[in-house]
A and B are shown apart, each in its own frame.
Chain A
Amino acid sequence: MLKEMTKGLFKENPIFILMLGLCPSLAVSVSLQNAVGMGLAATFVLVCSNAMISIFGKFFPSKIRIPCFIVVIATFVTVVEMVMGAYLPALNQSLGIFIPLIVVNCIILGRAEAFASKNGVLPSIFDGMGMGLGFTLSLMLIAFIREVLGSGKIWGITISSYFTNEAFFKPAAVMVMAPGAFVVIGLIMAWMNYRRANKRTRPV
């Protein structure tokens, strides 16, 4: 069980290794708050749809199973959308179009097809949690780097007065804009590759 959960963190990290769900991870990683909100929303959808599909997946005719999966996922996304709109309107505003776009997040459909439709309920739920956690933590990592370098803040709070003193450190606005996101994710991926390659060649 625990293995199902931890594989999402490093070995099969959805963003950096499997390269799924890239669009939301770049778009919402402007600040840590957005990253956590997005990560939790996606995790909720992932766990619920995994559980649902592991129970009912057998009854879907195999030819139209993908559309069936998408309808299940879209239902849970609508639930998230409505709850967030009612209780967290500010977060909903800043995530904007990327909440409905969880439907086409390839991580969720990918797990439904590759794991949940073949496994029991409990492993599927743990798999969903692990993958969701991996997704959330990766988002937080990207968001942390971009927020610190781009606006000199963590969780919306200015780190110290040094970061507003322009002579010492001037926040690079480009980091919170599009190019910064691409460069940061590229460098993190390279670091993950480097780490994996080192592990492989190291004598046991």
Chain B
Amino acid sequence: MQSYFMLFISIVLINNFVLAKFLGLCPFIGVSKQIKSALGMGGAVIFVMTMASAVSWVVYRYLLAPSAENIFFSFMGAGKTPIDFDYTYLTTIVFILVIATLVQLVEMFLMKALPPLYEALGIYLPLITTNCAVLGVALLNISDFGMLQNAGDSFFRTTIQGFGGGVGFLLVILLMSGIREKLDNVQLPEAMKGAPIAFICTGLMSLAFMGFAGLVK
């Protein structure tokens, strides 16, 4: 298993969510027109992805998965096996509800407790529910580290993957918004303006990021 630090580096640079896994493209193209809004979106994504990873891990490991740790099994499991408490078929529905609720909670909490931060992130938060990077990281965590023997290790890896995924998203959307602000001053063929050229730049960036592949074995 990779060390925690290497896991972080690999999820930020090599297996970047946007450039290598194609997750979170809609906000990436939609909100990368200006550096300021890109920064707000990136911040909100880091926040929500980290929280969603941690919460969905707890939900999966202790409520849905058929293991000895399952709460339903420990309360009502007399004379039954953990397999009787296999609720993994509900994963998709439960995760999307958890994420939607979490986003609402975060929004209400920020509004009350940290108004300046809410001002900065406010309009981006509701959009994040349908950001596939968030549901994507929750599902990837489960298949990658969800059922590791050591619960603490499993939880840390999950959270690091969520946080690193958010940082990677912030990095790429910031770079992209910088490029797009410069692109505004370039004379392009009419048909290439906007999204098409943004996609081609993303392609070049993704090509450049492939150079990091040798960094982690």
Contacts and interface: CB of A to CB of B under 8 A. Distances in A.
A121 B97 CA distance: 26
Given A22-B25, A189-B199, 19 more contacts: A22-B22, A23-B23, A24-B22, A27-B21, A66-B129, A74-B92, A77-B92, A78-B90, A100-B135, A103-B96, A104-B131, A174-B207, A178-B206, A179-B207, A183-B200, A186-B198, A186-B199, A194-B189, A197-B190
Contacts of A103: 92, 96, 135
Contacts of B192: 190, 193
Interface SS, A side? helix
A48 interface: no
A97 B134 CA distance: 12
Contact of B89 (A70, A82, A97, A191): A82
Contact of B139 (A19, A70, A75, A97): A97
Contacts of A21: 26
B136 A101 contact: yes
Interface in B79-116: 89-93, 96-97, 100
A174 B211 CA distance: 13
Nearest to B104: A67
B91 A100 contact: yes
24 contacts: A19-B29, A19-B30, A19-B195, A21-B26, A22-B22, A23-B132, A66-B129, A67-B100, A78-B92, A78-B93, A101-B136, A106-B130, A174-B207, A178-B19, A178-B22, A179-B204, A179-B207, A182-B203, A182-B206, A186-B198, A186-B200, A189-B196, A193-B196, A194-B189
A23 B25 contact: yes
A190 B196 CA distance: 5
Nearest to A198: B191
A40 interface: no
A83 interface: no
A193 B89 CA distance: 42
Contacts, number: 124
A198 to B, nearest CB: 9
Interface residues of A, number: 43
Interface in B167-217: 189-193, 195-200, 202-204, 206-207, 210
B25 A197 contact: no
Nearest to A17: B195
B17 to A, nearest CB: 10
B98 to A, nearest CB: 12
A204 B64 CA distance: 62
Nearest to A21: B26
